[in-house]
Structure 1
Amino acid sequence: MSEMAFIEENHDAWLTDLKELLAINSIRDDQHADQAHPFGPGPKAALDKMLAFAKRDGFDRTGNVANKAGYIEIGPKDAKQTVGILIHVDVVPVDRELWDSDPFVPKIVGSRLYARGADDMKGSDMLVYYALKALKDQAGQFKNKVRLIIGTDEENDWDDMASYFAAEGRPDLGFSPDGDFIVENAEKGIAHLDLLSDSHSIQTDKNEPLLLSFQAGKASNIVPGVATADVLNLDAATVQIDFQKFLADQGITGSLTQEGTNSHFVLNGFSVHGSVPDEGKNAATYLALFLSQYSFEKTAARWLDFLGHVLHQDYFGEQLGIGVTTKDMGKTTLNAGIIDWQAGHQAAINLNLRYPVGFHEHEAARLVSDRFPWITAKAEGDGMAPHLLSSQDPVVTSLLRIYKEVTGKETHLNVSAGASFGRLMPRGVCYGTRFIGQSSTAHQKNEYFHLSNYEPAMKILIRSIKALAMLD
C-alpha cells in the first residue's frame, strides 16, 4: 500500500484510537499507586491501551517494563543500533471548573479536538504509532531496529525512562515528538541554586520598618505570579500612595491592607514557565523593588536590595554574575522561583538555572558566594545535564530535509530551555507534530489538537522514521 493510501484509509481508525486514549484520565495519582500501578491507575491504563492497540494490529514484539514504560518494536532484531521514538501517555492535572467541556470526554469543534493531553502529547502519540504501523511490513529492510518507547511519568520525575533504560538500555538515536515541528538539537542543563542568608530577629520596640515575612512561589520552574509581605512601622498614608503609584507605573496590580502598625502587601505579577522568565513578571522581585526604597535594618535592607535590584529582571544571570553565553546554546536562563523570608529564621531564595554546555551548577554556586559573601549558595543538580547534538549529524540533517520535502518550507534548529525525552539519547532531538505558527495549548484549559495536522504530520513522521532506520 502506498504512503498516501495508508494515510487516507487509516484516518478514521486513528481518530477513534486517539479519542480512546484521550478518554483515559492518566494524571499521576500517588494515593492509589501500587506495584501494578506505580504512578496510579490512570497512567497504567493509558500504557495498557497503547500495548493493546499494538496487539490488535499484529505487532509481535512488545514489552512492559515494571508497569512504568512499554515498547513496540519493528526492524531487525539483531541490529547494532536502536532508533528510539520516546513518547509519554501521562498528562498534567486539570482545573475542571475552568474548562468549557469535560477534559476527558474528547470533543471536536471545527478542526480542533479538545481534551486534556490532546496537545501534550497524546495527539503525537497516536501519529507516531500509526506511522510505525505504516512501516511495519517494510521494516525487514531497515538497518536499525525502531522502538516506540512509551513513558508514563514524563510530567513528573521521569522515573519511567530511568526504569526502562535500566532494563532495556538506551536507544542510540531518535527523537521525541513533543512540541513543534522544529528540530531541537540542543537542550540546556537544568539545576537549582539555593541562596541562604540570615534574617533579623523579631523586634517590635523600634520605630524603623521591620520586615516580618516575605513569600512567593511554589515551584522553582514557574515565575511567581503572587508575592506577599508583612511589614511593621511604615507610615500608613505615605505607603498607600507610594504603592498605588508603583503598581500603576509598572502595569501590575496588588493590594495593601493595614492593621495597626502592620502593612500587608499582595502583589500580582504574571506567571509563566521558568524556562522563559523574560515573558513573565516576577511578583517577588517587583515587590522587593518597591520595598527596598524604605529604611529597613541592615539585614532586611541587603536582602531586599538583592532581590529587587540584582535578581529583578535578571533573566540571564548577568547581574548575579553567572551569565554565560555560548555560540551553540545561547544564554544561561535564570528564574527566582521560590522566595521565603520569615523574621528569626533563615531566609531562602531558590533559583531555577538553565545553562549551556561548558558550565556547571557548582561553578554557579561558587561565583555567587564569591560575589555576595553574606549568601551561602548551594547547588542541586536536577539530573538534566546540557544536551547538544551537532547540527551536521545525519539525524538533524535528515529531519530538516524531510520536513522541507513534505511541506515545501524550511524548518529550523532550536535551543530549548525546557526538557524533553529527546535529550535522553546520545543522538536524540525533540521534533514535535505541531506546525510552526500554531498555538500551543499544552497544560492549559481547553487544550486541543489541530486535526488538520494529521495528513502532513503522518507523511513527515513515516519518512523521518524510515530515514533514521537506515542511518549508519
Structure 2
Amino acid sequence: MWRLAMSDEIAIKTNREQWLRDFKELLAVNSVRDNDHADIRQPYGPGPKAALDKLLSFATRDGFQKIGIIDNRAGYIEIGPSNAEKTVGILIHVDVVPVDQELWHYEPFAGTVVGNRLYGRGSDDMKGSDMLSYYTLKLLKDQAATFKNKVRLIIGSDEENDWQDMAAYFAAEGRPELGFSPDGDFIVENAEKGIAHLDLLSNADIDDPSKTQLISFHAGKASNIVPGVAKAFIKNADFKQSYQLFQSFLQVTDLTGELKAADDGLQITLNGFSTHGSTPDEGKNAATYLAVFLLNFDFDENATHWLTFLAKILHNDYFAEQLGIGVTTKEMGKTTLNAGILDWQINQTAKINLNLRYPIGFDEHQAASMIEKRFPWITVNVQDDGLKPHLVSAQDPVVSQLLLIYKQVMGQATHLNVSAGASFGRLMPRGVCFGTRFIGQESTAHQIDEYFHLDNYEPAMKILIKSIQALANLD
C-alpha cells in the first residue's frame, strides 16, 4: 500500500492535538444564519461571520501569506505559485443548520468528546472537513512552490441557505475550473441532482366554525432538513378523547410527543426524527406524522384539504411519486422530495415549502405545473436558486485521480456516486464532492447529536494530502 513521505506522516501525528483544539473552537461558534442581526459587516448574522473570521485567524497564526475575505461573505487561503494559470478550488463552508436544542443530549456548541466521537452542530456538516482541509494546506504550505497550479481553500458562510457567499466570491475572484468539496463521503460524487424549492400556497380561511378548528400548525426550520418537531393548536375537540387517541398514536408510530389543554383548545407537539433533506427516507417527518394524527378530527373543508394533502400525499413520499412528479433517469436515478417547512395560521395563507432534488431532463417549473394541474386548490411559487443538475465525466482526470488516490491510500477501491445532496463541488466545471466521512459510517448531518468520527483524522489527512498534490499538478 502507498505511503506518505515520512515527514508528512510525522506532521500528521504531531498536529493532531492542535487540530482538535482548533476544531473545538470552530464548533463553539454558533454559525446559524441570523437575519435579525445581519448588517453590512455580517450579512448572514454574527455567527457565520465569526466562524469565517475564526478559520481565517488560524491561517494568520500559522503564517499563510495569501489570505482574503470577500464582502464579509466568503474567504480564502491560498498556497502554490501565485502566477499559475489554473486554480484548484477546495470549497468548504462554516455555517450550520438550526438546532432543536431540546432534543439534543449534548450541548450543540461545546464540542463534547465521548469515545471516538466529537459531538456538536456542524461537526459532520462540515466543520470536521473544514479543519481537515485547512490542516492539509498547512502541511503542504512549504512544498507548494513546486505545484503547477495554485490551490485555494475557499470558505463560504451561507451554504445552508442561498449560496450568495459563493456568488460574491466568484464575482470578485473568478471561478476555479477544477477541484472538490469535502462535504460528504469518500466516494467520488461526480453527479449531483438539481435542487429547487417550491412554495405550495393554499387558503387557510375558516369556513365552518362549528367543526374542529385548526388554529395553527408549524414545523421545520430549514428547507433541507426533515422536520424533527411539529406543533399544532386546535379548538372544538374533547380533551379526554383526544388524549387517548394521541397516546395510541404514539404507541403505533413509536414517536414521542405531548397533548395538553391550553387557551380553550389543545396544544399538540409531536417529535419525529430529523435528518438531511437529501435523505428524507432516513428520517421521520414530524409534520406529516402529525397530519396523519389530526385526520382523526372533523375539520372544515380548507383544513381537511391541507391535512389530507400532508397525510395522504406527502407522508413518506420520499421520491415524489404520490405527488405525481417522481422522475427517474439512467444518469441520476430518482427525484427526491422533502417537506421541510410547513406553516398554517387560520385565516391566512398556508404554506408548504418543498425541497425537490431532481435529475437531468426535468426541472422545477415542470414540477410546479404538474402539481397545480393535479391539485387546483394549490398555487405553486418557484424559488429559482439556479442549482441545476451537475455531471462530470467519469473519464475526467479529476475523477480518475481521486479514485486512484483513495485506492492507493486505503488499499481498496471507492466508487462513483450520484448525489441527492448539494455540495459546492457542483459550482466548478470540473468539480466533484469527495470526503471526509468513510463508507459505512453513519451520517449525522442535520440530525440531533451530530458528531464527527475522530478516528477519521489520520486516514482522511493522508487522502487529502495526496489528492491536493495530484490536482495541483494536473494539466
Structure 1 pair 304/449, CA: closer, same or farther in 2 (3 Å)?
A: closer
| Residue in structure 1 matched with residue 469 of structure 2 by the alignment | 466
Larger radius of gyration, structure 1 or 2? 1
Identity of aligned residues (%): 60
1:52 is aligned, of 38, 54, 60, to: 60
Q: CA deviation at 1:428?
A: 0.9
1:354 is aligned, of 349, 354, 357, to: 357
| Residue in structure 1 matched with residue 184 of structure 2 by the alignment | 179
Which whole-Å CA distance do the structure 2 matches of 1:84 and 1:203 have between them?
59
Residue correspondence of structure 1 range 72-471 to structure 2 within 5 A? 72-91=77-96, 95=101, 103-104=109-110, 111-112=116-117, 117-201=122-206, 203-204=208-209, 206=210, 209-219=211-221, 220-234=223-237, 239-257=242-260, 262=265, 264-292=267-295, 295-442=298-445, 449-471=452-474
Q: CA deviation at 1:125?
A: 3.1
Q: CA deviation at 1:194?
A: 1.6
Which 5+ residue runs of structure 2 have no aligned equivalent? none
Which whole-Å CA distance do the structure 1 matches of 2:106 and 2:357 have between them?
35
Corresponding letter in the other structure for 1:195:
L
Q: Does structure 2 conserve the Cα–Cα contact (< 8 Å) formed by 1:18 and 1:122?
A: no
Q: CA deviation at 1:329?
A: 1.8
Q: Does structure 2 conserve the Cα–Cα contact (< 8 Å) formed by 1:231 and 1:264?
A: yes
Q: CA deviation at 1:103?
A: 4.5
Which whole-Å CA distance do the structure 2 matches of 1:289 and 1:240 have between them?
15
Residue 348 of structure 2 aligns to a residue whose secondary structure is coil
Which whole-Å CA distance do the structure 2 matches of 1:379 and 1:47 have between them?
35
Which whole-Å CA distance do the structure 2 matches of 1:115 and 1:295 have between them?
43
Q: Deviations over 1:15-74 (max 9, x none)?
A: 3255135325433466776655555362243143133145x2xx4444333343333333
Q: Does structure 1 conserve the Cα–Cα contact (< 8 Å) formed by 2:314 and 2:323?
A: yes
Structure 1 pair 19/115, CA: closer, same or farther in 2 (3 Å)?
A: farther
Q: Deviations over 1:307-359 (max 9, x none)?
A: 22112211111111111112222211112223333443333222221222222
How many residues were matched structurally?
Answer: 465
Residue 23 of structure 1 aligns to a residue whose secondary structure is helix
Structure 1 pair 223/6, CA: closer, same or farther in 2 (3 Å)?
A: closer
Corresponding letter in the other structure for 2:348:
H
C-alpha RMSD over aligned residues: 3.5
Which 5+ residue runs of structure 1 have no aligned equivalent? none
Residue 352 of structure 1 aligns to a residue whose secondary structure is strand
Normalization by structure 1: what TM-score?
0.85
Which whole-Å CA distance do the structure 2 matches of 1:51 and 1:12 have between them?
18
Normalization by structure 2: what TM-score?
0.84
Which whole-Å CA distance do the structure 2 matches of 1:107 and 1:262 have between them?
41
